[in-house]
Structure 1
Amino acid sequence: MLKSIEKNNLSFVDPDPIDTQSKTNLFSNNFFNKIKKNKGAIIGSVILLFFIITSALAPIIAPYPVNEMNFDDSLQGPSLEHWLGTDEFGRDIWTRMLHGGRVSLLMGLFAVTISGTIGVVLGVIAGYYRKLDIYIMQFIDILMTFPSLLMAIAIVAVLGVGLTNAMIAVAISAVPSFVRVVRGAVLSIRETEYIEAARALGVKNWKIIGRHILPNVISPIIILATLEFGGSILSAASLSFLGLGAQPPNPEWGALVYVGKSFLSQAWWMTLFPGLAIMLVVLGFNLLGDGLRDALDPKSK
């Protein structure tokens, strides 16, 4: 009988404006209409689709083998044969950029997935269980005293140089951002009337978190994950540029810029095009993230 009363009462209390808004914003026509009207989000989406599709199809559309050397064609500028020129070993830059995009995008995806998962769990625990809040946030505050790139460098120094360790370092350095955003959202939601009603009816905490709290923090998580995706790619490229991430001959964008800097005066294309790719992808994620923020804002008209 208690479960029946609980279910009936929750169905009456559930349609809170905040709770309903979160669920409708993500799937309503209004959400997609706002995205369509946002030029920045459209431009960012087009940029990202271009790099995602070309990177995914790299083994098919790449004109040359990724590590094929031809010293007769070394350091050639952009031409019809080599669209973006060649490097010091005669390898095609366009081919290496296509394959490098696969590495860079996967590094960003891995970093955001790991940091987002850990950050959401810690943020929900800190925001809902107040006794644990002070301990978790003190640890997060300590992490946030270090710039994210500096923290990533320190982690790589401990774990060792390499692509996998660079991804782990970037993921750990992004955790504090997720924790603080999720915790703030949970703190505001846990004091609402429908959460108090659920507690009064004896609903278990994990059910409250899964049914009422997590659906309400999806919007800020999606926005932050989109923005952090670009930041993670930039941080991973920075580590590779410093020689701490992907190692030659691995064609990651940051590693390509690192190699090209030694030939900047005689082969500018080796640095320009990989650097331009990093810039455009980060710009695309930032534009898309801003568009999602405007579309998911319940106060926007």
Structure 2
Amino acid sequence: MSQEKNKELVLTDDMFEFVDIDDRVSERIAAPEYSYWGSVFKKFFSSKFAVFMLIILITVLAFSFIQPLISGYDHSQQQNINDPSAKFLKPSLQHPFGTDDVGRDVFNMVWAGARTSLTISFTVTIITMTIGIIVGMIWGFNKNLDFYLLDIYNVVSNIPYTLIVMILSYVLGAGIPQLIFSLSATSWIGMAYFIRVQVMIIRDREYNMASRVLGSSTWKIITHNILPYLISVVVTSAASRLPGYVSTEVFLGFIGLGLTVNQASLGRTIQLHSQYMQSAPYLFFIPVAVLAVITVSFYLVGQTLADASDPRNHGI
């Protein structure tokens, strides 16, 4: 036995598997592959309530933008309808939301108004967010702009936003372009100031200073180091602004400003039917309920998406 143990082990080439030397292997990180947007959607869809509200939001958007196309509803041609047999019909399969005091189908009327309100709100949100982010980013790096923009911000922020919009709507007149301008004329400055503050907080952090020392341009630092960090902040702001613009447009329509009588609007629909709260309450409460579903679903989905877009909430 001892002789067998003392026998030398003979090594041959067929006992080994030879591999090529690859210097790139040492650069690989032994960690799971990370995808930012994959993590965002994984975090978002992990919330059942958020998914439920997203389904409701998609349904509302589908009805708002598709249903008027299918029905061919034209609000300007509905003003002269006066069919006695079709007045004040309660909700049914033929008329899901009933008919109003002149025989108009409230179902078509509400979704056409929702389409107008959402179109205006989406447009204003895109305009104000784009201008606000660009100006805010530049403002955060350029102190010379404080002399001009801080005065504008201080004046605008001390005047109620709704009052400014009402005055502009009254001066410019009724119409969709005029209303879009009225809603976005001053709201971008608040977004710009907010982005400026966020940029000033993180612009002098170590990694940004290192990028500057290495010769990176200000624009590259903004687009690569700062803007991605502010994604969750931007989404949060957009989530609160969009339903806010919907509510403001509805309020203006309710008091008779913003759009003409020939343009469908949730606000004007609510205003026209507010006098029937007791005799035909469905004419008032159904448009109000649609408005509530739109604003609440947008806000909740947006807040959940903002939370999911924060990299600090991602587990690798």
TMscore range, shorter length: 0.7 to 0.9
Output the TM-score relative to the length of structure 1.
0.83
Q: Which amino acid aligns with 1:71?
A: D
The aligned counterpart of 2:207 is 194
Q: CA–CA distance in 2 between the matches of 1:210 and 1:299?
A: 19
- Specify the code of the residue in structure 2 equivalent to 1:50: T
Q: 1:126 aligns with which of 134, 139, 143?
A: 139
Aligned to 2:247: 234
Task: Note if contact 2:64-2:115 (Cα within 8 Å) is conserved in structure 1.
Answer: yes
**Bigger proportion of residues as helix:** 1
What are the residue-to-residue correspondences of 1:40-119 with 2, within 5 Å?
40-62=49-71, 67-68=77-78, 69-72=81-84, 73-119=86-132
Give, in angstroms, the shift of residue 65 of structure 1: 6.1
1:1-301 matches, within 5 Å, as: 25=36, 27-28=37-38, 30-62=39-71, 67-68=77-78, 69-72=81-84, 73-300=86-313
**SS of 2:185's equivalent?**
helix
Question: Are the aligned partners of 1:239 and 1:254 in contact in 2 as well (CA < 8 Å)?
Answer: yes
Provide structure 2 residue ranges, at least 5 long, that are not aligned to the other structure.
1-33
CA deviations 1:128-172 (Å, max 9, x no partner) are: 112223532331122111222122112213322333222222223
Worse overlay, 224-233 or 35-44: 35-44
Aligned residues, how many? 277
Give the letter for the 2:261 counterpart: P
Provide the residue aligned with 1:15 in structure 2: none
Query: Is 68-77 or 41-50 further displaced after alignment?
Result: 68-77
Paired residue type of 2:83: F
CA contact (8 A) 1:167 1:236 kept: no
* 2:7 paired residue number: none
Displacement of 1:93 in angstroms is: 0.4
Stretches of structure 1 lacking an aligned partner (at least 5 in a row) = 1-22
Aligned partner of residue 313 in structure 2, secondary structure = coil
Q: Deviations over 1:154-197 (max 9, x none)?
A: 22133223332222222234324422331122112211222222
Once the two structures are overlaid, the 10-residue window that deviates more, 204-213 or 184-193, is 204-213
Query: How many angstroms does 1:287 deviate by?
Result: 0.5
Alpha-carbon distance change, 163 to 62 in structure 1, aligned in 2, over 3 angstroms? same
> Which residue in 2 is equivalent to 1:19?
none
Identity %: 28
Distance 1:199 1:64 in 2: 58
Q: Describe the SS at the equivalent of 1:284.
A: helix
Q: CA RMSD in A?
A: 2.3
Aligned residue identity for 2:296 = L
